[in-house]
Amino acid sequence: MEYTFSSKIATVKPSAIREILKMSSDPSVISLAAGNPAPDAFPVKEVEKITADILREDPILALQYSVTEGYPALRDTLRTFARNRYDVMGAEDDLIVVSGAQQGLELSCKCLCNEGDTMLCEDPSFVGALNAFRSYNVHLAGIPVEEDGLSIEALEKALKEQKNVKLLYTIPNFQNPSGATMSWEKRQRVYELCRQYNVMILEDNPYGDLRFEGESVPAIKTLDEEGRVIYCGSFSKILSPGLRVGFVVANEAVLQKLVVAKQCADVHTSILSQLICLRFLNDYDVEAHIGRLCEIYRRKSALMLGEMQKHFSPEVRTIRPQGGLFIWCTLPQGSDMLEFCRRAVADYKVAVVPGTAFTAKEDAPTTSFRLNFSTPTDENIVRGIEILGRLTHEFIR
Amino acid sequence: MEYTFSSKIATVKPSAIREILKMSSDPSVISLAAGNPAPDAFPVKEVEKITADILREDPILALQYSVTEGYPALRDTLRTFARNRYDVMGAEDDLIVVSGAQQGLELSCKCLCNEGDTMLCEDPSFVGALNAFRSYNVHLAGIPVEEDGLSIEALEKALKEQKNVKLLYTIPNFQNPSGATMSWEKRQRVYELCRQYNVMILEDNPYGDLRFEGESVPAIKTLDEEGRVIYCGSFSKILSPGLRVGFVVANEAVLQKLVVAKQCADVHTSILSQLICLRFLNDYDVEAHIGRLCEIYRRKSALMLGEMQKHFSPEVRTIRPQGGLFIWCTLPQGSDMLEFCRRAVADYKVAVVPGTAFTAKEDAPTTSFRLNFSTPTDENIVRGIEILGRLTHEFIR
């Protein structure tokens, strides 16, 4: 039969990264295209012990239906974690558990935006979030990203000119894909401007714990005195993405709506996953674990940057990340970046993600591409960057 | 600050059942209001062993990101399961894994309905599904449920009169809340009528395996030759609801859209949960396990029906379920059912769910309420029904 799909979903395309990743499943391809935690970053022994304990001590709890807001003891522990580690629990805020921060982003858009409303987002930005917003027929207006975070001038202009702006979506720490970190000054300006124009802020902080350089900058949420900021956190980078557990901190009135939407979406997050996260936070030294992760990523990032220094054409510009998983590279103006990425994977067997995957306006022209240093082995970082370096010299003449 | 929520979510209320369940968390209240599997229905030892094996043999797989469509080996096993056990895999159909059947329902509505489109649903029907549809501003038109399934006359009338009908939502087996099972004749008529009016069918079968009486009736999906039926299955009743794993069988073109929507929603379903389901299907005698579950529910249902026979006013009408978890009771016309339910919990300390929770038009008048026999202990079934019986006699004069 002929299908008629909703206008919401008809225009959303599967993530371009997925297509690249399909090509990179060819074992002869070195993939610098993923965004996965390093395999050695998982606390395997700890999770094995925790899970055995849960299923021996509390099997019915782990298998039965649970409540939409999240397992009460996990919410308690996370409230303390969010308060002590990130200082993001305002006096009228509360916290719910979601099925990965992705769900927090999607539900926030669903609850706050009507079709045709505008969301502002960093440009480039995380394609998974942009697609979630697109899937509600929201108009995305992009704000260019600079080395110290989004352009304040462009933000102010957009707030003035765009109609029905409901939310600003931002990843202030080690942004995906640019790797940029927003300065404290800019965070304050962003908050002030959004207050001035009465726009809410959706602050996504999946990589915040993975700082391996420089001084930590407080979240925008720490400035929030009126429930303007929805803060999304995640276990995906500090424990496991496969378990699908994240959390949202927001004003109680906003959370009530998110809970209604979450109940419609998946009833509740896997309770076994939640119990694993709970015991991990309670029974292990999470600070030490995060320190170990930062060490892994500091080393891998330095390795990739060092190899790039040796092999890349000096005309390729990069933003040096202070944390996270990505290095953003920009070819000289006028370069055919898509052809570069195509040749990289087809002729040189190295997969990178073309910057077009991340633009607010789909497939807008850009000469940038994204490298990932967390997933590949050290050996593949060295080989991949050397090969890619040859292509940069060949490509830029 | 003052919040403006989307029109989609502004009108959806938290499930009335949740409010009742909150009252019934008072330990002195006997709850006949839930819909959880019986605690002794969980294969605790099996899950304990399976999970230990997974985390010892394949920890990185269980903790790392996975693909949106579902873990490939689980999809393979489920394709065979769906084909052999339910005969629902058409020649052009495929199968994806979702985070509980609830997600399959929500994403189907999102992908197929624009705001203002009409969905037909059984009336009464599962409130979780109805709320998911409401959260997309879909107009719900209810079709009354009879002992042998929805009214064909009412369905034909609605198909003729309603505008922009996109989907019919139905639970043909042991429907929630009515317990009714749709006859084979009606299933054929439903399919023919939907074909005639070019409406798709969303067939939800969470309870289908829990038949403890009568002959099994093939799914509507078995009649589907043109990709008209989206079939949602679940592990919630046969393995565990807490793991949040379900599946959707549909035409490949429909699944492609569902996958895009699922990627936006939660990236993928907990991979640890998926691996547990996979090993359970592959390594254990699932038929024997389901047989054991049916035995539990046959006994508990017979116990409740027997006690009702002894204690209830004969003016309370019921539909005798052939499976599932629920018994639907209807007070005589003109009864104040809400007052009955209020007094049941407040004065008699027995919680039941008022029928208003399940009406297509929210809070439409009804004199029915729902009883659940799977969650309470045998002792609480006996005590609860005796107490409730006294109230029926007092109430109906």
In Å, how far is B302's CA from the nearest CA of chain A? Answer: 23
Residue of B nearest to A253 (CA): B3
Percent helix / strand / coil, chain A, rounded to 5: 45, 15, 40
pLDDT-derived band at B373 (thresholds 50, 70, 90) equals: very high
B93 vs B73: CA distance, rounded Å? 17
Residue A20 has pLDDT above 80, yes or no: no
Q: Which chain B residues have a beta carbon less than 8 Å from that of A131?
A: 260, 263-264
Query: What average pLDDT does range B321-328 have in this prediction?
Result: 97
Beginning with the edge strand found earlier in the chain, give each strand of the sheet holding B326-330 in spatial order: B317-319, B326-330, B368-372, B353-354
Q: What pLDDT sits at residue B15?
A: 65
Q: Is the per-residue pLDDT at B17 higher than 80?
A: no
Share of chain B above pLDDT 70, in %: 97
Query: Can you tell me the mean pLDDT for A161-185?
Result: 98
**Would you call A198 and B55 a contact, using CB atoms and an 8 Å cutoff?**
no
pLDDT at residue B302 is higher than 90: yes
- pLDDT class of A201 with cuts at 50, 70, 90: very high
Which residues contact residue A152 at a Cβ distance below 8 angstroms, ignoring those fewer than 6 apart?
Answer: A186, A189, A190, A193
Q: Measure B185 CA to nearest chain A CA, in Å.
A: 24
- Chain B residues lying within 8 Å of A50, measured CB to CB: none
Give me the residue from A35, A42, A270 closest to B273, CB to CB.
Answer: A270
Place of tokens 């807001």: A69
Residue A82: HSE in the Cβ half-sphere, 13 Å Cα cutoff: 29
Percent of chain B with pLDDT over 90: 91
Number of cross-chain residue pairs from A and B with Cβ atoms under 8 Å apart: 247
Phi and psi (nearest 5°) for A31?
-95, 120
Give dist(CA B32, CA B372) in Å, integer.
Answer: 5
pLDDT at A175: 97
pLDDT grade, residue B356 (50/70/90)?
A: very high
Task: Mutation target for B interface from A269, A270, A375: give the one with most B CBs within 10 A.
Answer: A270
What is the mean pLDDT of the segment spanning B357-365?
Answer: 89
Contact: B131, A264; criterion CB under 8 Å: yes
Query: pLDDT band at A196, cuts 50/70/90?
Result: very high
pLDDT digits (tens, 9 = 90+) for A86-108: 999 999 999 999 999 999 999 99
Q: What is the Cα–Cα distance from A353 to A15, expressed in whole angstroms?
A: 11
Residue A21 has pLDDT above 70, yes or no: no
Give phi and psi for A44, each to the nearest 5: -60, -50
Report how many helices (DSSP H) and strands (DSSP E) chain B contains, helices first. 14, 14
pLDDT digits (tens, 9 = 90+) for B92-136: 999 999 999 999 999 999 999 999 999 999 999 999 999 999 999
What is the residue whose two structure tokens read 């007052």? B339
In this predicted structure, the answer to whether residue B371 has a pLDDT above a threshold of 90 is yes
Best to test chain B binding among A11, A264, A269, A279 (most B CBs inside 10 Å): A264
What sign does the dihedral A51-A52-A53-A54 (CA atoms) show? Answer: positive
pLDDT at A350: 96
**Kind and range of the H or E element at B309?**
helix B286-311
Q: A14-28, A80-94, B259-273: which has the minimum mean pLDDT?
A: A14-28
Residue ranges of alpha helices (H) inside A24-94 are: 44-57, 59-63, 72-81
Contact A265 B9 (CB under 8 A): no
Return the pLDDT at B1: 87
Residue of chain A with shortest Cα separation from B266: A103
| Angle, vertex CA B109, rays to CA B105 and CA B111, nearest 5 | 115
Q: Quick one: pLDDT at residue A151?
A: 98
β partners of residue B134: none
In the numeric block, which tokens belong to residue B134?
């409401």
User: Nearest-5° angle of CA B83, CA B87, CA B91?
Assistant: 70
pLDDT digits (tens, 9 = 90+) for B147-194: 999 999 999 999 999 999 999 999 999 999 999 999 999 999 999 999
- pLDDT (tens digit per residue) in B196-254: 999 999 999 999 999 999 999 999 999 999 999 999 999 999 999 999 999 999 999 99
What is the distance between the alpha carbons of residues B268 and A133, in angstroms, rounded to a whole number?
Answer: 17
What number of residues does chain A have? 397
A38 → chain B, closest CA residue: B64
CA distances from A240 to A75, A278, B61, B63 (A): 18, 13, 10, 5
Buried b (16+ CB within 10 A) or exposed e, A321-355: bbbbbbbbbbbeeebebbebbeebbeebbbbbbbb
The answer, yes or no, to whether residue B19 has pLDDT greater than 70, is: no
Predicted-complex ipTM score: 0.96
DSSP letter string, A154-174 = HHHHHHHHSSSEEEEEE--SS
The predicted-structure confidence for A301-310, as pLDDT tens digits, reads as follows 999 999 999 9
Average confidence score pLDDT of chain A: 95
User: Residue A17 — very low, low, confident or very high, per pLDDT cuts 50/70/90?
Assistant: low
What's the pLDDT band for B16 if we cut at 50, 70, 90?
low
**Chain A hits for B103, Cβ within 8 Å:** 265-266
CB atoms within 10 A of CB B161: 10
- Report CB contact under 8 Å: A257, B132: no
A23, pLDDT greater than 80: no
Model pLDDT, residue A13: 77
**CB neighbours of residue A40 within 10 Å:** 11
Q: Which residue of A has its CA nearest to B136?
A: A110
* Range with lowest mean pLDDT among A152-156, B110-114, B393-397: B393-397
Q: Which of A15-19, A252-256, A365-369 has the lowest mean pLDDT?
A: A15-19
User: What was the pLDDT predicted at B22?
Assistant: 67
Q: Using a CB-CB distance cutoff of 8 angstroms, which residues of chain A are in contact with residue B111?
A: 5-6, 8-9
- Residue in B113, B242, B257 nearest the CB of A271: B242
B20 pLDDT higher than 90: no
Band of pLDDT at residue A12, cut at 50, 70 and 90: confident
pLDDT digits (tens, 9 = 90+) for A346-378: 899 999 999 999 999 987 889 999 999 999 999
**Segment B43-88, tens digit of pLDDT:** 999 999 999 999 999 999 999 999 999 999 999 999 999 999 999 9
